[in-house]
């Protein structure tokens, strides 16, 4: 609290001195208010009050910011989003310390800072305030919190119901629109974390000031769902890197520190204490302090990490994020299938793409955003040119690419209009499975993908099964990339490596950023590739058309500024006149133990993968090297009680309903 007070006249855009100084002041005011609340030490209140008064001296005189953005300009900052954030912090602090101020001081701060800014952000900026958009949430939350802080119900009403209090805009409308019914935010968890902050902070104030509004119960408890959905979307503490996500953001961010603390206050769910412990730090609120006390008191239980479908879109019908976990252990095998909608401007063209995580690490991965956040020497910390040109493109993903072009031709608007059509999502314990299809990503191609996690005694661990199909009447080239993480140890074919010259794999749509490092031909329609990461081996065994090739690639071509991470991939490539089907098994296996010098099961246990089709029904037959057979039936018609059958090697496999797992003999004989 000894920092000298500096309230500079607005001048710099984001990142510049005056911008950063006003952000710092907001943090100082907020922290001082909270510390006063927690300790009762008058020095804190005194400091916060002085800073607020310093702003009261100058704020009314500030017109629009000299470096103002065209849309939604601010006065203290170049955009009013930052002004909303400032007021959100300061109004909370004012509520905490106002009793320590004289009537004159209160009058001055309320008139010249709080009301002046709240008026600017509400009536003065209707296009932001009334917008059903994340920036609107920051504005309404800031104005609503100001209302509670100074006791002006009018601000609260406007915040909740829109400027005209009709309910057509405002915070409640935003609660209805910005999350799906499952609490998913359509830009993905990296952005969800940020969007969540004003929701939980203002909702908590509503709950404390007007509990009769039952704000946390609205829309079937949507805000709690949103907090839980954000937590569910992490692995190893980091968010699933969907869309333009910076990979090292996760549950330890400030927004989630508040979110988890508030959720625990509301629910008493002791599983949240595990999340708090994994976060490893606290914020200056009574709710956060309660977390640390209850952890110390030994109340912690495991968080309920679950297999779940998070529907996307306002009504939950614009695709879904499908999360499949082998167990509740957060470090166990996880499959994430991106059957969501595009996710607006930060969305990636990765329809039906997927990621696999295991043993605390990424196994089959997504590049995330091409950006070095806050690192000035890397294009000022902004999104790099490689973000649009590579990271967003389909070839940068574990997703099917047709004719070396991206989904929707790389057109965001087209992407936003077309979500995948979902198939059934089922969890029977041994079989966890999802499917989806989309016929708009390419003009004349219908793609569908079914991905399952299967537990069977034929395999020591759960495996992932992937059936991806493209249906088309026209000739196309199909590329199916797998961005594997680790060191290649074995393939069932000979690789012709590009040992003395490397060249880019293509010219456009992200292909120009990949070096081709080797090529191979699948052997009799089978491709089997094994790699090692840390102490576990992973194999992908794929049934592919006879003429298929395998391309080995590495990120980093056409990268003059060394902006991209060097990460390897293999790509299954098929040219076909009439579509393609590829069935794969993704299998974690074995153990490499360098300390005691042994290696177990370094080879895949899969002997073959075969795909059979009868009518619209599919059957994938997996045969292990020790003669076990595991089958998976996938129905073309997913109605609940329809009967299905597929001819498999002379036999007919029959089942009812969308999916059927046919266990191995070993599994059955072991009484499972």
Is 501 among the residues that bind a copy of itself (CB under 8 A)? yes
Is 596 among the residues that bind a copy of itself (CB under 8 A)? yes
Rounded Cα gap, residues 517 and 459, in angstroms? 32
Q: Which does 348 bind (CB under 5 to 8 A by kind): a copy of itself, Zn ion, none?
A: Zn ion
Is 602 among the residues that bind a copy of itself (CB under 8 A)? yes
Rounded Cα gap, residues 557 and 559, in angstroms? 5
Q: Which stretch binds Zn ion (CB under 5 A): 101-109, 260-268, 318-326, 361-369?
A: 361-369
Residue 287 or 366: the one with the smaller Cβ distance to Zn ion is 366
Residue 107 or 523: the one with the smaller Cβ distance to a copy of itself is 523
Could you give the C-alpha distances from 523 to 399, 541, 543, 575, in angstroms and in order? 23, 11, 10, 16
Pattern of binders to a copy of itself over 219-248, x per CB under 8 A? ---------------------------x-x
Asked whether the beta carbons of 230 and 305 are under 8 A apart, the reply is: no
Q: Which stretch binds a copy of itself (CB under 8 A): 65-73, 75-83, 412-420, 512-520?
A: 512-520
Q: Which does 650 bind (CB under 5 to 8 A by kind): Zn ion, a copy of itself, none?
A: none
3-state secondary structure of 324: strand
Could you give the C-alpha distances from 427 to 53, 177, 257, 658, in angstroms and in order? 58, 28, 31, 12
Of these, 265, 332, 366, 466, which contacts Zn ion (CB under 5 A)?
366
Concerning whether 30 is annotated as a catalytic residue, the answer is: no
Residue 348 or 371: the one with the smaller Cβ distance to Zn ion is 348
Asked whether the beta carbons of 153 and 199 are under 8 A apart, the reply is: no
Pattern of binders to a copy of itself over 513-532, x per CB under 8 A? --x-xx-----------x-x
Is 365 among the residues that bind Zn ion (CB under 5 A)? no
Pattern of binders to a copy of itself over 556-595, x per CB under 8 A? xxxxxxx--xx-x-----------------------x-xx
Is 359 among the residues that bind a copy of itself (CB under 8 A)? no
Pattern of binders to a copy of itself over 243-262, x per CB under 8 A? ---x-xxx-xxx--------
Task: Please identify which residue in the block is written with the tokens 């990120």.
Answer: 555
Is 348 among the residues that bind Zn ion (CB under 5 A)? yes
| DSSP element (H, E) containing 312 | none
Catalytic residue, chosen from 55, 191, 511, 619, is: 191
Token pair, residue 171, equals: 């915070």
Concerning whether 36 is annotated as a catalytic residue, the answer is: no
CA dihedral 105, 157, 96, 7 (to 10 degrees): -50
Asked whether the beta carbons of 177 and 313 are under 8 A apart, the reply is: no
Residue 332 or 366: the one with the smaller Cβ distance to Zn ion is 366
Neighbour-count burial of 521, counting CB atoms closer than 10 A to its CB (0-12 exposed, 13-18 middle, 19+ buried): middle
Asked whether the beta carbons of 171 and 141 are under 8 A apart, the reply is: yes
Q: In sequence order, what E strands does 273-400 have?
A: 308-311, 319-325, 334-340, 353-358, 361-364
Catalytic residue, chosen from 22, 346, 397, 663, is: 346
Q: What is the CA radius of gyration of the chain?
A: 27
Asked whether the beta carbons of 360 and 234 are under 8 A apart, the reply is: no
Return residues touching Zn ion (CB under 5 A): 348, 366
Return residues touching a copy of itself (CB under 8 A): 246, 248-250, 252-254, 372-378, 381, 487-490, 495, 497, 499-504, 515, 517-518, 530, 532, 552, 554, 556-562, 565-566, 568, 592, 594-599, 602-603
Q: Which residues are catalytic?
A: 191, 346
């Amino acid at each position: 609290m000894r920092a000298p007070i500096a309230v500079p006249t607005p001048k710099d855009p984001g990142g510049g001195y005056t911008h950063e100084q006003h952000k710092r002041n907001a943090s100082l005011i907020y922290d001082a208010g909270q510390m006063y609340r927690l300790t009762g030490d008058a020095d804190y209140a005194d400091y916060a009050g002085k800073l607020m008064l310093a702003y009261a001296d100058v704020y009314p005189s500030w017109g629009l910011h000299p470096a103002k953005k065209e849309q939604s300009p601010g006065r203290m900052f170049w955009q009013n989003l930052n002004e909303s954030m400032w007021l959100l912090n300061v109004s909370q602090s004012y509520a905490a310390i106002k009793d320590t101020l004289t009537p004159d001081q209160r009058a001055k701060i309320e008139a010249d800072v709080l009301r002046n800014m709240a008026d600017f952000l509400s009536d003065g900026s209707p296009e932001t305030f009334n917008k059903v958009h994340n920036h609107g949430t920051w504005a309404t939350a800031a104005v609503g919190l100001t209302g509670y802080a100074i006791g002006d119900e009018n601000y609260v009403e406007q915040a909740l119901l829109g400027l005209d209090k009709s309910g057509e805009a405002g915070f409640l409308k935003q609660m209805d629109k910005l999350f799906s019914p499952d609490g998913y935010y359509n830009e993905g968890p990296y952005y969800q974390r940020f969007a969540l902050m004003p929701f939980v902070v203002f909702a908590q104030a509503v709950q404390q000031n007007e509990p009769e509004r039952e704000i946390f119960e609205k829309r079937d408890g949507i805000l709690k769902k949103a907090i839980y959905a954000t937590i569910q979307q992490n692995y190893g503490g980091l968010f699933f890197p969907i869309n333009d996500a910076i990979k090292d953001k996760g549950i330890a961010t400030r927004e989630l520190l508040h979110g988890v603390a508030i959720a625990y206050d509301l629910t008493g769910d002791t599983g949240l204490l595990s999340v708090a412990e994994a976060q490893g730090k606290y914020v200056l609120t009574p709710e956060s302090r309660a977390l640390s006390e209850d952890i110390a008191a030994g109340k912690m239980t495991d968080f309920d990490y679950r297999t779940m479908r998070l529907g996307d879109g306002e009504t939950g019908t614009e695709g879904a994020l499908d999360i499949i976990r082998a167990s509740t252990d957060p470090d166990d095998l996880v499959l994430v299938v991106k059957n969501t909608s595009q996710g607006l401007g930060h969305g990636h063209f990765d329809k039906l793409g997927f990621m696999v995580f295991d043993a605390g690490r990424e196994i089959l991965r997504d590049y995330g955003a091409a950006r070095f956040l806050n690192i000035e020497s890397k294009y000022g910390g902004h999104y790099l040119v490689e973000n649009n040109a590579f990271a967003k493109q389909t070839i940068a993903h574990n997703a099917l690419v047709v004719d070396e072009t991206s989904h929707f031709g790389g057109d965001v608007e087209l992407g936003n209009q077309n979500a995948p059509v979902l198939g059934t999502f089922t969890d029977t314990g041994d079989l966890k499975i999802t499917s989806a299809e989309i016929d708009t990503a390419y003009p004349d191609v219908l793609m569908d993908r079914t991905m399952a996690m299967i537990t069977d005694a034929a395999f020591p661990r759960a495996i992932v099964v992937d059936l991806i199909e493209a249906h088309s009447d026209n000739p196309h080239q199909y590329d199916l990339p797998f961005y594997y993480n680790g060191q290649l140890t074995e393939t069932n074919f000979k690789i012709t490596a590009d040992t003395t010259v490397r060249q880019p794999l293509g010219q456009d749509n992200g292909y120009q950023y990949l070096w081709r490092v080797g090529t191979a031909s699948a052997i009799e329609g089978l491709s089997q590739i094994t790699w090692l990461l840390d102490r576990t081996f992973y194999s992908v065994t794929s049934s592919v058309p006879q003429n298929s090739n395998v391309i080995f690639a590495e990120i980093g071509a056409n990268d003059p500024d060394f902006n991209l991470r060097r990460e390897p991939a293999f790509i299954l490539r098929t040219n076909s006149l009439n579509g393609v089907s590829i069935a794969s098994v993704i299998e974690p296996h074995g153990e490499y133990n360098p300390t005691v010098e042994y290696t177990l099961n370094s080879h895949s246990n899969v002997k073959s993968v075969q795909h059979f089709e009868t009518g619209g029904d599919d059957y994938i037959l997996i045969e292990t090297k020790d003669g076990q057979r595991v089958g998976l039936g996938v129905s073309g018609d997913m109605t609940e009680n329809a009967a299905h059958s597929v001819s498999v090697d002379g036999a007919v496999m029959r089942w009812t309903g969308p999916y059927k797992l046919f266990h191995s003999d070993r599994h059955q004989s072991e009484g499972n």
